[in-house]
Amino acid sequence: MELIFEIGEEGRQLDIFPKCDVPEVKLNANPRKQELHLPHVSEQELSRHYTKLAKRTHGVNDGFYPLGSCTMKYNPKIDEEMAALPGFTGVHPLAPVESVQGCLEVMDTLQKDLAEIAGMDAVTLQPAAGAHGEFTGLLLIKAYHESRNDMKRNKIIVPDSAHGTNPASAVMAGFEVINIPSDDKGCVDLDGLRAAVGEDTAGLMLTNPNTVGVFDKNILEITKIVHEAGGLCYYDGANLNAVMGQCRPGDMGFDVLHINLHKTFATPHGGGGPGSGPVGCKEFLKKFLPGFTAVKNGDCYDKSYATDTIGDLRTMGGNFLVMVKALTYITTLGKEGIKEASSNAVLNANYMRVKLSKTYHMAYPVTCMHEFVMTLEEEHKQINIAAMDIAKAMLDYGIHPPTMYFPLIVHEALMIEPTETETKEEMDHVISVLKEIHDKAVSDPDYIRNSPHTTVISRPDEVKAARTPVVAYEF
């Protein structure tokens, strides 16, 4: 497909600006270091170009999108409509508080709702993503130890099943990462944890249900071991879709967590944002929170700044419109609806897991939460069919592949998260497609190895794309 710079004709433009009615003044020196290249296209060319591009992408409105760990669920349109209200889109973040009372009410209500869902005492809405929230939470943990003059606590314990952002955030926050192994169910190995904690433990970062979709039955013991060693417990809330309304990280013994509004709470995930990764914490960490939190004083809302703040994590209060969507979602579902959503997410995942286990090997043959992991290790050894081949073959059926090669502890992993918003018919369709692909992989492995056959591009060099990306157009 041609780029926008390759269509149109020099001098062609959209006439959207009125003629200049003041004298033109030439700049003395051109501040630009190089020529400004703008596309020269008509409005219709522009419109067709972007429509063509849009048709080439696959979104949750096109079909099944089972990316495990990402919660790619359908987001009700009403959430978008609320976020598009002019009263919300037109506000300026520096507007005086008297003029943005409604917006502060949105923030205050969302802070309270998220705190209630997570079992925490305070919430900051400032972080812009999950990883940003992790970094924030780790700085809170650091500030806590420093405030007690407990300077030797410089290690963060992270299980080997963790999302890559966990160790990365810990390193960025200035900690050393201690990796601990998982047991044969993908859960934390208690002996490994006991051996890892000590006087230098700043904290533990944990995802529960973990990245293989299993709820760690030792969760209370885990947080106890860390607390007894003097460390704090960080909960990676990316998988909250499995447990919201059922149980609360705060009650499991966690001191601080992040929530991905762009996974669990109605902002479409992917496509580069904007996202939002609010951080919740227990009372004793509240004084370190960044930015401002919205508070209600009498009948009015105000901004409140923490006394011993870790400082701003970004400008202003965070990605506000994402908050509006989350609040709309939470409010329309209500307490019972949220619980029903997580129940159905777990039910759907188990339905697919059981049906697919007749054809595929499950990495952990136990009841799962909202997602499950299949392993193609056997197929890879015996018929040289990799997880990547199965994923690519799905594209020919118009189905987005699941998460591949994650978590790293499972070889040839395909991680499926159907979410609560898929129907039984759709899941049955995907199950039958996956069976068909498996049959074909056995009878005609070359066909599957060369999939996809119907897409515009078949198999791009993904390593090259990641290592040497070309993101600027050469004029």
Please answer whether residues 73 and 419 qualify as being in contact, where contact means their C-beta atoms are separated by less than 8 angstroms: yes
Hey, what are 456's tokens? 């515009």
Nearer to ligand PLP, 313 or 385 (CB): 313
For 116, other C-beta atoms within 10 Å of its C-beta total: 15
Q: Which is nearer to ligand PLP, 260 or 419 (CB)?
A: 260
Least distance in angstroms from the C-beta of 468 to ligand PLP: 23
Is 182 a binding residue for ligand PLP by CB under 6 A? The answer is no
Our CB check for ligand PLP shows the closer of 131 and 394 to be 131
Measured from the CB atom, is 111 or 169 closer to ligand PLP? Answer: 169
CB 96 within 8 A of CB 81: no
Among 201, 260, 342, 421, binds ligand PLP (CB under 6 A): 260
Chain-centroid distance of CA 171 in Å reads 20
Q: In angstroms, give the least distance from the CB of 25 to ligand PLP.
A: 46
x-or-dash string of contact with ligand PLP, 39-68, rule CB under 6 A? ------------------------------
Element (H, E) at 234: strand 232-236
- At its nearest, how many Å lie between ligand PLP and the CB of residue 169? 9
Distance in angstroms (rounded) separating the CA atoms of residues 172 and 158: 14
Q: Please classify residue 389 by burial: count the beta carbons closer than 10 Å to its beta carbon, then call 0-12 exposed, 13-18 middle and 19+ buried.
A: buried
Contact 265, 251 (CB under 8 A): no
How many C-beta atoms surround the C-beta of residue 457 within 10 A? 7
Q: String of b and e for 118-151 (b: at least 16 CB within 10 Å)?
A: bbbebbbbbbbbbbbbbbbbbbbbbbbbeeeeee
User: Of the listed pieces 24-32, 123-131, 282-290, 383-391, which binds ligand PLP according to CB under 6 A?
Assistant: 123-131
Among residues 131, 205, 279, 391, the one that binds ligand PLP under rule CB under 6 A: 131
- Member of 249, 253, 275, 291 binding ligand PLP (CB under 6 A): 275
Polymer length in residues for the chain: 475
Measured at CB, which residue is nearest to ligand PLP?
130
Minimum distance between the CB of residue 11 and ligand PLP, rounded to whole angstroms?
43
Question: According to CB under 6 A, which residues from 411 to 470 bind ligand PLP?
Answer: none
Structure token pair of residue 364: 């952990």
Give the contacts of 48 (CB within 8 A, at least 6 positions apart): none
In the numeric block, the tokens 């003629």 are attached to 19
Is the CB of 158 or the CB of 427 nearer to ligand PLP?
Answer: 158
Binding map of ligand PLP across residues 216-255, x = CB under 6 A, - = no contact:
--------------------x-x-----------------
Stretch that binds ligand PLP, among 108-116, 126-134, 213-221, 247-255 (CB under 6 A): 126-134
Question: Which is closer to ligand PLP, CB of 71 or CB of 421?
Answer: 71
372-375/413-416 β-pairing = antiparallel
Nearer to ligand PLP, 49 or 163 (CB): 163
Site string for ligand PLP, 13-32 (x = CB under 6 A): --------------------
Q: Does 186 bind ligand PLP (CB under 6 A)?
A: no
Interface with ligand PLP includes 130 (CB under 6 A)? yes
Stretch 204-223: interaction string toward ligand PLP, x if CB under 6 A: ---x---x------------
Smallest distance, Å, CB 66 to ligand PLP?
14
Enumerate residues 150-179 that contact ligand PLP by CB under 6 A: 163, 165
| 280 membership: H or E segment, kind and range | strand 279-281
Encode 157-178: b = buried (16+ Cβ within 10 Å), e = exposed. Answer: bbbbbbbebbbbbbeebebebb
Closest among 236, 230, 26 to 130, alpha carbons compared: 236
Residues 164/236, Cβ–Cβ less than 8 Å: no
Q: Which of 66, 69, 394, 448 binds ligand PLP (CB under 6 A)?
A: 69
> Would you say 419 or 451 has its CB closer to ligand PLP?
419
**Among the listed residues 129, 196, 233, 333, the single contact to ligand PLP using CB under 6 A:** 129
**How many residues sit in the footprint of ligand PLP (CB under 6 A)?**
13
> Between residues 49 and 370, which has the closer beta carbon with respect to ligand PLP?
370
Stretch near ligand PLP under the rule CB under 6 A, chosen from 6-14, 128-136, 247-255, 375-383: 128-136
Please report the DSSP string for 244-279 in residue order: TTT--GGGGT-SEEE--HHHHSSS---TT------E
**Piece of the chain touching ligand PLP by CB under 6 A; list 20-28, 91-99, 127-135, 299-307:** 127-135
Q: Give the distance, in angstroms, between the CA of residue 215 and the centroid of all CA atoms in the same chain.
A: 19
Reading the block at residue 81, the tokens are: 């409509």
Q: What is the distance between the alpha carbons of residues 138 and 179, in angstroms, rounded to a whole number?
A: 16
Q: Which residue ranges make up the site for ligand PLP (CB under 6 A)? A: 69, 129-131, 163, 165, 207, 211, 236, 238, 260, 275, 277
